[in-house]
Structures are given as C-alpha cells and as structure tokens.
C-alpha cells in the first residue's frame, strides 16, 4: 500500500512538472520557432504629430519643465501587429534627449520614458523605467539602465544625469538639433537591430523578406521568459537597479517610486528620552 501511494505521488509530481514547467516552455518554443519573425530592418520612420497630440499632457509638461522641447515622432509596425510610437525631445541647454514611447500589442499597451545621451565615441547611454530584464545580450555601444521602480520622471532624469557624469569622465557628450536627433535615433535603431540579428537567435527566411528564429534562439527566448526563470530574472534586475542607484548616491523608495539621496532617511527615529532619577 505504501509503495502504491508513493507511486501516485511520483506520478502526480510528474504531471505537475509537465503542465506547469515543461508544457509552457515546449509550447512557447514551438510557437516562436514556427511563427516568430522580425523584419530585415528596424524600420522606424518619421510620422506625423498625432501620437504627440494624444499623449497625456501632464507627461509632456514634466519634460518641458525639465528643459526639453518636442523634436518629432517616429513609429514602426511589425508583421505581428506590434506597433511602436515614439515622441522625441531634446534638451534646450544640455546634451540629453528624452523619449516617450508607446508599445501596443494585441494583449496590452505599455508606456515608457527614456532619457538618452550619445557620446562622440559612439556610446549611447539610456535610462528608462522599462519593466523586465533585456532578452538580448548586452552591447558595448548601447548601455541601457532600467529602473522600473522609479515612477517619478524628474527622479529618473536625475539618475540619468548622474550616469551621464559617470561616463563623461573620459568622453564628450553630443548635442543635437531636433532634426538631427530624429535622424540619429533612426540610425541607432538600425544598428541595434543589426546587432540583435547577429547574436545567433535569428536566421534569414528563404523568401528574404524577414528573419525567423533559429531553434537555439527560440529555446533561449522562451527559457528566459517562462516562469520561474522570467520571474527570477525580474527580481534580479530590480536588485541590480537598486544597487546601481545606491552607487550613484540614491535609494529608491519602494512605495513612492522616487529616488531619495542616501543621506536623507525616509523615516527618522525619535530622539531618545532621558529618564531622570530622583
């Protein structure tokens, strides 16, 4: 009887493992390998200002108060139906630029804020409130720092300024006009896309009109997204961003979503009460 009970427990554990771990991984890999694809190019193009006009004006006002002026809009739409719209801004006096991006899929719409600085040696440093770790391998010329915990745009910009100072020690930051910023954004997007394609996760489709996943690429991307790996990577990414913020002199408040200088304590303890003896 005891052996039969153990056998049933073992069978139940196998079923649980298959449906909660292996099946999502196998299904995701199959769908990516058979249906997933990306374009030959990034395909960002200039667009009209309708996306900018539809933005929450409070977000635009914050950037304006920080010294940013509107430069223009770019957009792209993938064969999968995912559409990305980006409103670009340039700082009136400094070398930084800003972006408000909207990524719309059939399942959800995400909004991101990005601050960027490009240097004379080609390095691009970005600071964003994007959620989740990156799926592609890090690139030497494009450094992206994600602080998903920061919901206060001025604090995200403050973090970016500190990062810019860190990288400016041996580099010269570039300042762009609105027209130049749009052209540089499209050019950099193409370079990032080429670097992603060169990592081995994609191969050209026989028709030559797109790239499709290699088996290795489908396995890797599904593995990085599937629970529990995806959840663990998100926690590690959040821990990394908190550690980087501390290196820059800030502590991210987990509830308020703001960056506080380390010397400021969120909650001060009351002074001790000295008791007097008779």
pLDDT at res. 275? 42
3 pLDDT higher than 80: no
Q: How confident is the model at residue 18 (pLDDT cuts 50, 70, 90)?
A: low
pLDDT at res. 190? 98
pTM of the entire predicted model? 0.87
* Whole-angstrom distance, CA of residue 143 vs CA of residue 85: 21
Q: How confident is the model at residue 276 (pLDDT cuts 50, 70, 90)?
A: very low
Once rounded to an integer, what is the mean pLDDT over residues 152-168? 97
272 pLDDT higher than 70: no
pLDDT at res. 144? 96
Once rounded to an integer, what is the mean pLDDT over residues 243-263? 93
Half-sphere exposure of 111 (CA within 13 A, CB side): 10
Give the model confidence (pLDDT) of 204-222 as tens digits: 999 999 999 999 999 999 9
Once rounded to an integer, what is the mean pLDDT over residues 223-231? 91
Half-sphere exposure of 13 (CA within 13 A, CB side): 6
Once rounded to an integer, what is the mean pLDDT over residues 247-262? 94
pLDDT at res. 202? 97
**Nearest of 202, 201, 240 to residue 224 by alpha carbon:** 201
Q: What's the whole-number average pLDDT of the chain? A: 89
pLDDT at res. 268? 43
**Lowest mean per-residue pLDDT among 76-85, 181-190, 198-207:** 76-85
Once rounded to an integer, what is the mean pLDDT over residues 34-46? 95
Q: Tokens 């804020």, residue?
A: 113
6 pLDDT higher than 80: no
277 pLDDT higher than 50: no
Once rounded to an integer, what is the mean pLDDT over residues 12-38? 81
Q: How confident is the model at residue 9 (pLDDT cuts 50, 70, 90)?
A: low
Helices 57-65 and 153-168 meet at what angle, rounded to 10?
Answer: 40
pLDDT at res. 35? 94
Q: How confident is the model at residue 80 (pLDDT cuts 50, 70, 90)?
A: confident
101 pLDDT higher than 80: yes
pLDDT at res. 15? 59
pLDDT at res. 263? 77
Residue 40, phi then psi, degrees to nearest 5: -70, -25
pLDDT at res. 227? 87
**Helices (H), ranges, the chain:** 2-17, 23-35, 50-53, 57-65, 153-168, 178-197, 215-225, 229-247
Q: How confident is the model at residue 23 (pLDDT cuts 50, 70, 90)?
A: confident
Pair 155, 245: CB distance under 8 Å: no
pLDDT at res. 10? 60
């Amino acid at each position: 009887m005891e052996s039969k009970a153990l056998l049933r427990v073992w069978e139940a554990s196998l079923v649980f493992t298959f449906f909660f771990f292996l099946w999502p991984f196998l299904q995701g890999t199959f769908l990516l390998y058979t249906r997933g694809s990306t374009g030959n190019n990034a395909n960002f193009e200039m667009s009209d200002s309708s996306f900018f006009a539809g933005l929450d004006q409070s977000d635009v006002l914050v950037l304006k108060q920080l010294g940013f002026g509107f430069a223009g809009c770019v957009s792209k739409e993938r064969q999968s139906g995912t559409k990305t719209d980006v409103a670009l801004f340039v700082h009136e006096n400094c070398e930084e630029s800003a972006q408000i991006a909207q990524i719309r899929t059939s399942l959800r719409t995400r909004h991101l804020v990005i601050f960027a600085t490009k240097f004379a040696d080609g390095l691009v440093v970005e600071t964003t409130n994007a959620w989740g770790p990156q799926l592609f391998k890090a690139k030497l010329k494009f450094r992206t720092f994600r602080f998903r915990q920061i919901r206060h745009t001025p604090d995200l910009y403050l973090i970016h300024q500190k990062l810019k100072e860190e990288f400016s020690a041996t580099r010269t930051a570039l300042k762009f006009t609105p027209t130049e910023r749009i052209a540089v954004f499209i050019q950099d997007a193409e370079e990032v896309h080429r670097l992603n394609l060169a990592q081995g996760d994609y191969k050209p489709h026989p028709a030559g009109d797109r790239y499709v996943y290699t088996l290795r690429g489908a396995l890797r991307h599904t593995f990085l997204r599937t629970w529990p790996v995806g959840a663990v990577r998100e926690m590690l990414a959040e821990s990394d961003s908190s550690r980087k913020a501390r290196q820059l002199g800030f502590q991210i408040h987990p509830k308020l979503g703001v960056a506080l200088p380390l010397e400021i304590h969120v909650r001060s303890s009351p002074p001790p009460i000295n008791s007097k003896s008779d």
